[in-house]
Amino acid sequence: MELRRLDNGEVFRRVDAGSPVLDLVAAPDGQWLAYASNTTNLVRYRPSTGIVDASLPTERPYDLAASADGSRLAVTTLTGGGFMVDTATWASTARI
């Protein structure tokens, strides 16, 4: 996966996601990116440091959406389930 600057399109970081990325969402303040891939993990990536600092096993993640303040992440799965993630602790807090 390539991350590009918005102003000029220049690649500023490449991330090895391990398999094709199914969905990607960014925190409103840009502090983290969350992505899901065929590895069935939901990953939190810090663009400023280039570090994956959290991973959460999931059931075939399909769609991701961040709350307006970036504190929560909604995850739906290909199996029809879903859950909420607290982005500070990267823990599942509720089933949808």
pLDDT digits (tens, 9 = 90+) for 22-58: 788 999 998 999 988 776 688 899 988 888 899 888 8
pLDDT for the residue 20: 75
Do 39 and 19 contact (CB within 8 A), yes or no?
Answer: yes
Tally Cβ neighbours within 10 Å of residue 83. Answer: 19
pLDDT of residue 61 exceeding 70, the answer is: yes
pTM of the model: 0.80
The one-letter amino acid at 71: S
Do 59 and 52 contact (CB within 8 A), yes or no?
Answer: no
